[in-house]
Structure 1
Amino acid sequence: MTDWSTLVVPALAKLEPFALGETLADVQARHGLEEAVKLNWNENLFGPLPGVVEAVRDELENLSLYPEQVNRAFCEEVAHYAGTVPERIVPGHGTLALIGSLASAFLGPGDHAVVPALSYGLYAQLSAVRGATIERVPLRDLALDLDAMARAAREKKARVVWICDPNNPTGSVVGTGEWEGFLDALPEGCVTVVDEAYIDYLPADGRAHRERDVESGRPVVVLRSFSKFFGLAGLRLGYAIVDEALAAYLGVVDEPFNVNCAGLAAGRACLRATDAAERRRSEVAEAREALSRGLREAGAEPLPAAANFVLARVDVDDLELADRLAGRGLLIRPGSDFGLPGYVRITVGPAALMDRVTAEVRDAHETLRR
């Protein structure tokens, strides 16, 4: 019998697979449900933008062909949207793939990577797979503590600092002045990777424009996703904004044909639906405010939110609350899943769904208090 633990790289022996939790089918079977609504994965519950389904359908006749490796047309449209040039755009099959490529490019055994203690878990996971030592920096008032992260980077001579902005799961947003001070405080030779998966929910005048940091030559990498605001999670599409020299190195790390034809076509359709996207941004903001208001009325304390989810403090057991709602066909994320007991995270959806969610939270909250 082969002992695989002696054959895999040593870093894997210390790690567990990334936990995604129960599947939808598992929850339905456990509660005897015919259907349930997922409000636990921050997916887009509003449906695709106009033109997306048609763009995917048009690509079906090309399923036997590899996608164009250069993806020039896609890069041009993304660059126009993001305010940069095509040579700085690196597509990937989801930002997760790009996180892995960047970890491979910058990290190896003995290196240090700095991550927020409460953020997207795959920054640490994929860095550790490359053999890096992970430095976890606690949040301050459930917001990223950039001063402490810069200090940790200096003390450990970190190669990479991973930032999620807006942060998942807390929803906090980094201020522009705070960001500039953070970059200035980092040690030489340290790369900052900023995952802006939720940035498209912010209006243009309310977000940092970090593509300018890339343009100015800062050691900054910006990641963007089509999974959240644009609703293409099932097609796996994202992109990085990087210096042109780094783009060439990532071309060595990435596998060829790493984005599928349907994803590329859908992404371009999303970027063309500008008016619909603006309406969607307003619709999500209104639904988010309605959810926050309803949660307050139900006795919870929602945190300020800027993306497509709301994190709220509850004065009942968060696991019990989530289980109660699951029994009623609504799947929410208990904070205990990511080390924040006493909180729940709920994905924003259409207004009627938010009314149902807040009513069920109110009822479950009152029941569990007795």
Structure 2
Amino acid sequence: MDDFVQSKARKDIFRLKAYVPGKPIEEVKRELGLDSIIKLASNENPLGTSPLALAALQEGLNKIHLYPDANAYELKQELASFWQVPAEQIVVGNGSDELLLLLAQTFINPGDEVIHAEQTFSEYESTSTLMGAHSITIPLKEYKYDLKAILEAINTRTKIIYLCNPNNPTGTIVEQEEIELFMQQVPGEILVVFDEAYGEYVDNPAFGSGLQYLREGRNIVLLKTFSKIYGLAGLRIGYVITTPAIAAALDRVREPFNVNFAAQIAAQAALRDIDFVEKSRQLNLQGKDYLYQELARLGLDYVKTNTNFIFLDTGRDCQLVFRELLQRGVIIRTGDIFGYPTFIRLTIGTMEENRRFIKSLQEVLEVIPL
């Protein structure tokens, strides 16, 4: 490494782990010379984007020479109406990643501790590390959050607890009763972040959202995104719902014009597109049922999901499975980055994509012996 960087850069950056994104389709085309590729790696909506959002984007093209609304006023009003909360409790960001960074920049001091699951979204650790915090990672218990162990890990240095619900990569949820007991025991001075990126896909009545604790006056942050069920991953837009004081603090740190004009108008339209959201849910349920049946036929274990992805055990080295599937034009996510060397994470696609995945996986399992 360059001596200047080594000596002058903040020491915390050398503790950061590189984020591993899903492999882009165009990259696979370049590398392997394949024309037909399906990407089932990043939990994107297989139906694409809300038609209302696409129409709004088309109509708004003649305004992209203007700066966007720095405060995203219209979008905040729409979100406030949708969630029945005051607009001053909402902060809009350039995807959930920026919002997690804003939270870290706003609240974390060097030497603080944050607590999160060991097998979960990596940005909790990386944004905290960047600000000089130490991550206390709690292993999942049967693929679910171990809330008892999280409570036991709390000490005077604990600043933030992250709960990814449903969890990525396992697709499991923390149920309402569990959260209720947990929140009763978490000290009020600790910020609890409920990341509900996949909340719109949940059809389990036992699911517990963090929103009720906000209504009770607790210091919590509810993190939401337009990248998943709304199909706006490429525009990068998410938001938090929190207390007015926390929202005001985040706004002090937030860069002006952090969310572009196209993202703002597309998100407003997507939020109104109830038919698209319901169609996406139904396609996901149909695909989930089919994949469960086929995975059972293949004798593979999987974690029952509350999301638009399935975490499954291939019984083989996941990197070998990944490469073999790639040769067949199927992109998935390996589980080794989450600490599961034989697992893969599969986005539930269209029925055509799901069938192609199963056909390809069956071929791969025959090629790679147990």
Normalised to the residue count of structure 2, the TM-score between the two structures is: 0.95
User: 2:323 maps to what in 1?
Assistant: 323
Looking at structure 1, the residues matched to 324 and 148 of structure 2 have their Cα atoms a distance apart, in angstroms, of: 40
2:128 aligned residue: 127
Contact 1:83 1:211 in 2 (8 A): no
Q: Structure 1 residues 337, 14: closer, same or farther in 2, change over 3 A?
A: closer
Distance 1:174 1:232 in 2: 26
Question: 1:44 aligns to what SS in structure 2?
Answer: coil
Q: What SS is found at the alignment partner of 1:292? A: helix
How many Å apart are 1:31 and its aligned residue?
A: 3.0
Aligned amino acid, residue 93 of structure 2: G
| C-alpha contact (below 8 Å) 1:301/1:313 kept by paired residues | yes
Residue 266 of structure 1 aligns with an amino acid whose one-letter code is A
1:34 aligns to 2:35 (yes or no): yes
For 1:263, what is the secondary structure of its paired residue?
Answer: helix
Note the aligned Cα RMSD (angstroms): 1.8
Give 1:206 shift. Answer: 5.4
Are the counterparts in 1 of residues 21 and 42 from structure 2 also a CA contact under 8 Å?
no
Task: After TM superposition, list the pairs within 5 Å mapping 1:253-272 onto structure 2.
Answer: 253-272=253-272
Query: Secondary structure at the residue paired with 1:344?
Result: strand
Tell me, in whole angstroms, the C-alpha distance in 2 between the residues paired with 1:75 and 1:310. Answer: 32
**Shift in alpha-carbon separation, 1:43–1:275, aligned structure 2, 3 A:** closer
- The 1-side partners of 2:368 and 2:186 are apart by 47
Go from structure 1 to structure 2 and tell me whether the alpha carbon gap of 1:201 and 1:295 turns closer, same or farther (over 3 Å shift). Answer: same
Deviations 1:81-118 (A, max 9, x none): 22322221111111111000001111010100111100
Give the secondary-structure state (helix, strand or coil) at the position aligned to 2:361: helix
Specify the alignment match of 2:306 in structure 1: 306
Spell out the pairing of 1:30-109 with structure 2 (5 A cutoff): 30-109=31-110
Report the Cα offset of residue 192 of structure 1.
0.6
CA distance in 1, matches of 2:228, 2:39: 14
Pair 1:287 & 2:287 matched: yes
In structure 2, C-alpha distance between the alignment counterparts of 1:206 and 1:66, rounded to whole Å: 43
The residue type equivalent to 1:324 in the other structure is: E
Residue 368 of structure 1: aligned partner: 368
Q: Which amino acid aligns with 1:308?
A: N
SS in structure 2 of the partner of residue 269 of structure 1: helix
1:343 matches 2:338: no
Deviates more, 1:77-86 or 1:280-289: 77-86
Provide, for residues 224-243 of structure 1, a one-character-per-residue CA deviation record: whole Å limited to 9, x for no partner: 00001111000001000010
Paired position in structure 1 for 2:9: 8
TM-superposed CA distance for 1:204, in Å, is: 8.8
Show the 5 A alignment for 1:119-198: 119-153=120-154, 155=155, 157-198=157-198
Q: Is the 8 A contact 1:310 1:348 kept in 2?
A: yes
3-state SS, counterpart of residue 345 of structure 1 = strand
Tell me if the contact between 1:224 and 1:239 (Cα under 8 Å) persists in the aligned partners: yes
SS at match of 1:51: helix
- Give the Å deviation of 1:286: 1.2
Give the residue type in structure 1 aligned to 2:228.
Answer: K
Contact 2:111 2:157 (C-alpha < 8 Å) held by counterparts? no
Percent identical residues: 31
User: Shift of residue 246 of structure 1?
Assistant: 1.1
Question: How many residues matched?
Answer: 369
TM-score normalised by L of structure 1:
0.95
Between 64-73 and 196-205, the greater mean CA deviation after superposition: 196-205
Code of the aligned partner of 2:240: A
Counterpart amino acid of 2:362? Answer: R
Are the aligned partners of 1:299 and 1:314 in contact in 2 as well (CA < 8 Å)? no
C-alpha distance in 2, partners of 1:214/1:126?
Answer: 23
The 5-angstrom pairing of residues 194-273 of structure 1 reads: 194-203=194-203, 205=205, 207-273=207-273
Q: Is the 8 A contact 1:101 1:253 kept in 2?
A: yes
Instruction: Give the deviation of 1:259 after TM superposition.
Output: 0.8
Structure 1 position 25, deviation (Å): 4.0
Deviates more, 1:279-288 or 1:127-136: 279-288
SS of residue matched to 1:221: strand
SS in 1 for 2:312: strand
Question: In the alignment, which residue of structure 2 is the partner of 1:18?
Answer: 19
Q: Which moved more, 1:251-260 or 1:15-24?
A: 15-24
Residue type at the aligned position of 1:335: G
Q: Distance in 2 between matches of 1:334 and 1:281?
A: 25
- Cα distance between partner residues in 2 of 1:5 and 1:184: 45
- Tell me, which stretches of 5 or more residues in structure 1 are unaligned? none
Which letter maps to 2:163? I
CA drift of 1:250 comes to 0.9
Letter of the 2:328 counterpart = R
**2:44 alignment partner, SS class:** coil
CA distance in 2, matches of 1:16, 1:310: 25
Q: Tell me if structure 2 keeps the 8 A contact 1:295–1:362.
A: no
Instruction: Provide Cα deviations, 1:45-71, integer angstroms capped at 9, x if missing partner.
Output: 211122111111122111111111222
Paired amino acid for 1:59: G
